[in-house]
Amino acid sequence: MAYNVDGKKVLITGGSSGIGADLARGFAEGGATVGICARRTDRLTEVLEICRKANPDADHRMWTIDLSDLDAVQPFALEADDALGGIDVLVNNAGIPKRRKVTELRLDEVDSLMTINYLSPVRLTLALLPRMLARGGGRVVTISSIAARLAPPSEAAYAATKAAITAFVESAAVDLWDSGVRFHLVNPGIIETELFDLPDNDASMAGDDVPPLPPAALTDAVLKQLDDDTFEINVPDWFKDVIAGKAQDTGVFLAGSAAWLAQKQAAPQQA
């Protein structure tokens, strides 16, 4: 079922930088009207300008909002739906990382990760679903993570939030399979964004093992995913083989990950 984003109304959370900002550009270049939201007004304004240049005829919008304020999410969803004239595509993208060994995690960090990476997109999705269903359809794209599938070291809290949103999306997709609302899951590997520069995080363990991709590679993959009506994609695609390997024997996979981690941690001392 081909899906053309031309003329569609698209709401993208976390549109002020990285993946969300580039998705906004990509959807606008495809002819969509884009709504973006995040906390940094100055950065949203820059992205809105890019969208206006890409598709000058559309009435692109932006909202400054902290999506971890859960009580604000439903009113915002309805306001954005009204302002855009009915959202065709919701992109749940806003999220924060946490790279830290499990024994060093703070409880308040664990809670705030779950709030922004899981509870908030669930609230937004549940707020918009009735209207999408009443209009006969829509697309819900959720930017999860390879972390949801691969148990990366030092990412227990983060990976759990992404596993939670992944499970939510999978079950929701089954519930609404023939409703006209389609769900899509996106698992980025390493995409070059500010997520790796945020304070209070350890350095990424992936290092040179996974070369980072530019956000545009992710945007291209998502637009193709919508067009192909593919439920789940990994970016880069080769992660699907690693995920399949883990599914064969999780214990063996985890033992291999622990050996890889030990080797990495020993490497600086050997140098």
Ligand X SMILES: NC(=O)c1ccc[n+]([C@@H]2O[C@H](COP(=O)([O-])OP(=O)(O)OC[C@H]3O[C@@H](n4cnc5c(N)ncnc54)[C@H](OP(=O)(O)O)[C@@H]3O)[C@@H](O)[C@H]2O)c1
Smallest distance, ligand X to C-beta of residue 98, A: 10
Smallest distance, ligand X to C-beta of residue 225, A: 15
Give Cα separations from 177 to 130, 168, 170 (angstroms). 15, 14, 10
CB nearer to ligand X: pick between 21 and 129: 21
Q: Which of 4, 40, 45, 237 binds ligand X (CB under 6 A)?
A: 40
CB nearer to ligand X: pick between 39 and 131: 39
Amino acid, res. 159: A
Q: Is 28 near ligand X (CB under 6 A)?
A: no
Q: Is 121 near ligand X (CB under 6 A)?
A: no
Residue of 27, 63, 158, 183 with catalytic role: 158
Which two three-digit tokens encode residue 257? 């990950």
CB nearer to ligand X: pick between 47 and 132: 47
Q: Collect all residues with Cβ–Cβ distance below 8 Å to 113 and sequence separation of at least 6.
A: 96, 98, 157, 158, 161
Q: Is 219 near ligand X (CB under 6 A)?
A: no
Which two three-digit tokens encode residue 71? 């009580």
Q: Is 14 near ligand X (CB under 6 A)?
A: yes
Q: Is 91 near ligand X (CB under 6 A)?
A: no
Which two three-digit tokens encode residue 110? 């664990």
Q: Is 17 near ligand X (CB under 6 A)?
A: yes
Q: How many residues bind ligand X (CB under 6 A)?
A: 27
How far apart CA 134 and CA 77 sit, in angstroms, is: 16
Q: Is 264 near ligand X (CB under 6 A)?
A: no
Q: Is 125 near ligand X (CB under 6 A)?
A: no
From the list 34-42, 55-63, 125-133, 172-180, the region that binds ligand X by CB under 6 A is 34-42
Q: Which of 11, 18, 124, 152 binds ligand X (CB under 6 A)?
A: 18
Q: What are the beta bridge partners of residue 33?
A: 9
Q: Which of 68, 125, 154, 166 binds ligand X (CB under 6 A)?
A: 68
* 3 classed as catalytic: no
**N-terminal to C-terminal alpha carbon distance within the chain:** 54
Active-site positions read 158
Per CB under 6 A, residues contacting ligand X are: 14-20, 38-40, 43, 66-68, 93-96, 116, 143, 145, 188, 190-191, 193-195
